[in-house]
Amino acid sequence: MSDADAPDETTTWPELAIGLYDRLTGRNAEITYEFEDMEVDVPSTTGEDPEYAYWRVDGTLTVKTSEKE
Amino acid sequence: MTTISTRQREPVTTLAELLDELEDRPALAVDADLTVEIDGHAVTVTGYDDLVAVDLPSLSALLALWRDAPVETMDAAALLSSIGLTAEVRVRGAPVARVGDAAEPSDLARRAGLGPVELVPDGLLLAAVTRRRG
């Protein structure tokens, strides 16, 4: 595969959101995330010297496209 | 790390560019049954298609999480509205605010340019009163 054909790697949250959206809407897909006591330190900002909030997530999240207008 | 193809499009780096990209796309639906602990505050997140209920244990927890949120409320409201979702913020089950698509901002909030953010005074009052009694 040439460089021109290679997909770009997602580097920002907006890019990740758009990519997720394209996957959902392009295939009528449904994405389910199952978290089992996932621990993550969430930065307050993408700038320098952020503070971090401690998050622990447990449960299920399903995202799909809506049939509503 | 997730790798997603983004060919044939300029990179999206700002909220405004993201909102432009999402324009005219179909809405999203969310089913969620989550327990989230944020800096010691226990939050439950329940999704019902286009409504995501975020239930907090107290007003003080709400204020602390709002103050330290990694995303500005107005930005989150605009993003939620663009994908057809509404977040209903609750304190011990009582709605205190709606953010996003189905929010109905007051005239004051609209004039202040707060975007799709709706405060629920009855819920705020109930949360404050029950906190004092509790």
Domain ranges of chain A: 13-64
| pLDDT tens, residue by residue, B39-92 | 889 999 999 999 999 999 998 899 888 887 777 788 888 888 888 899 999 999
Q: What's the predicted TM-score (pTM) here?
A: 0.78
The residue ranges of every structural domain in chain B are: 28-133
pLDDT score at B31? 95
pLDDT score at A38? 94
Q: In whole angstroms, what is the distance from residue B57 CA to residue B127 CA?
A: 10
How many Cβ atoms from other residues are within 10 Å of residue B131's Cβ? 14
Report the 3 state secondary structure along chain B. CCCCCCCCCCCCCCHHHHHHHHCCCCCEEEEEEEEEEECCEEEEEEEEECEEEEEECCHHHHHHHHHCCCCCHHHHHHHHHHCCCEEEEEECCEEEEEEECCCCCCHHHHHCCCCCEEECHHHHHHHHHHHHHC
Chain B residues with CB-CB distance to A55 below 8 A:
36-38
Does ipTM exceed 0.85? no
Which residue type occupies A58? D
Yes or no, beta carbons of A68 and B84 under 8 Å apart: yes
- How close, in Å, is residue B52 to chain A by CA atoms? 11
A-B CB pairs within 8 A amount to: 120
pLDDT score at B8? 56
Whether B96 contacts B120, CB under 8 Å: yes
B93, exposed or middle or buried, with CB in 10 Å at 0-12, 13-18, 19+? Answer: exposed
Q: What is the pLDDT averaged over residues B128-133?
A: 66
Q: In whole angstroms, what is the distance from residue B6 CA to residue A32 CA?
A: 22
pLDDT score at B69? 77
Q: What is the pLDDT averaged over residues B21-33?
A: 85
Q: What is the pLDDT along chain A (69 residues), one digit of tens a residue?
A: 444 444 555 556 677 777 777 777 766 778 898 999 999 888 776 667 778 888 999 999 999 887 555
Q: In what order do the strands lie in the sheet with B86-91?
A: A30-43, A52-65, B28-38, B41-49, B51-56, B86-91, B94-100, B117-119
Which residue type occupies A35? F
pLDDT score at B85? 92
- How close, in Å, is residue B19 to chain A by CA atoms? 9
pLDDT score at A68? 52
pLDDT score at B108? 76
Cα torsion A23, A66, B14, A60 to 10°: value is -70
Percent of the residues in chain B that have a pLDDT greater than 90, as a whole number:
35
Q: In whole angstroms, what is the distance from residue B32 CA to residue B49 CA?
A: 9
Q: Which structure tokens are listed for A39?
A: 């621990």
Mean pLDDT (chain B) is 83
